[in-house]
Amino acid sequence: MQWDDLRIFLAVARAGSISGAATRLGVQHSTVSRRLRALEERLGTRLIERKTSGNELTEAGEDLQLSARKIEAEILEFEGARSGEDTGAAGELRVTAINNMASSVLMPVFARFSAAYPDIELHVQVSNKFVRLAERDADIAIRLTNTPLDTLIGTRLTTVASAVYGSRAYCAQVRAGEAQEKWLGIECCGFHMSWTKDACPEHDHNFYVDDTLLTLAALRVGAGLAYLPCFMGDSEPSLVRVRAPEPRHDLGLWLVYHRDLRRARRVQLFREHMQREFADLRGLFEGERAVA
């Protein structure tokens, strides 16, 4: 067996589908399917049961997954040790960040890093889900949390404040008695879902969104009220704050990476760059720059 085949098999086992594994690995669907089929033929047994509800590991697949994980751990430990010896400002650097930040306020920050260190191949990946840094889904993750994992090395960049927003026109109608106050149903994350539940216990929503960028778009057209991070709400001229930020809604913005990469020069440079940039961005994230 070759490690590349085991790596593809592990990706399918973790993603639960061939298409998910292809996306995870950055290869074609047909490549994953062909390599998996070839591995099964060489082993003389089925590893994946393909069902309408998704793919499931066979008993042989479960056994192989345990063995492959051990091999993967050894390889990643070796790679991490070698990366830790890296003293040059070059190589690949994969950074994952939340979509609403990566596509807006952080993009100029990323671009300036790339311009400053042209020999570092920067890959920005968008994900609102948990990323397994120990399995090298990414080298660095930028995440909102108040409880970072103690198995990772973390740097708190800033605090992200949130407030309730609505469009200027809609809020003026509510104040004039020309419209009823209503809340958007939020399904983007546990934080906003919980805060909305507390603010609107009646749950009389008839409009739901599952991403903060959709929340922003819905607020722009006067669809109601909703929580937004202040760096988004205060940057949109058509919105106004309906409620001020509350400390209980503050979240930490962390830059985290695996311990094996703590001495990698490209990781150190990126961390230092982000810390310098956030010295100027802190007020925006902490909600100190409300639009009048």
User: What is the per-residue pLDDT across 186-231, written as a single tens digit (0 to 9) for each?
Assistant: 888 888 888 998 888 787 888 999 889 999 999 999 999 999 999 9
Report the first-to-last Cα separation within the chain, whole angstroms. Answer: 64
pTM attached to this predicted model:
0.69
Question: What is residue 110's predicted lDDT score, i.e. its pLDDT?
Answer: 96
Q: Which residue has the higher pLDDT, 281 or 87?
A: 281
5, 11, 17, 23 alpha-carbon torsion, rounded to 10°: -100
8-49 tens-digit pLDDT: 888 888 888 888 888 877 788 888 889 999 998 999 999 988
User: From the DSSP assignment, how many helices (H) and strands (E) are in the chain?
Assistant: 11, 12
- Residue 247 pLDDT level (bands cut at 50, 70, 90): very high
The CATH class of the 162-249 domain is: alpha beta
Question: What is residue 88's predicted lDDT score, i.e. its pLDDT?
Answer: 64
Percent of the chain with pLDDT over 90: 43
Reading the block at residue 69, the tokens are 């994980």
Topology of domain 3-84 in CATH is: Arc Repressor Mutant, subunit A (1.10.10)
pLDDT at 238 over 80: yes
Query: How far is residue 124's CA from residue 211's CA, in Å, rounded to a whole number?
Result: 19
Question: What is residue 249's predicted lDDT score, i.e. its pLDDT?
Answer: 92
Average pLDDT over residues 93-101: 90
Query: How far is residue 36's CA from residue 12's CA, in Å, rounded to a whole number?
Result: 9
The CATH class of the 91-160+251-285 domain is: alpha beta
Question: What is residue 292's predicted lDDT score, i.e. its pLDDT?
Answer: 39
Question: What is residue 77's predicted lDDT score, i.e. its pLDDT?
Answer: 65
HSE of 177 in the Cβ direction (CA atoms, 13 Å)?
A: 0
Quick check: do 3-84 and 162-249 share a fold?
Answer: no
Domain residue limits, the chain: 3-84, 91-160+251-285, 162-249
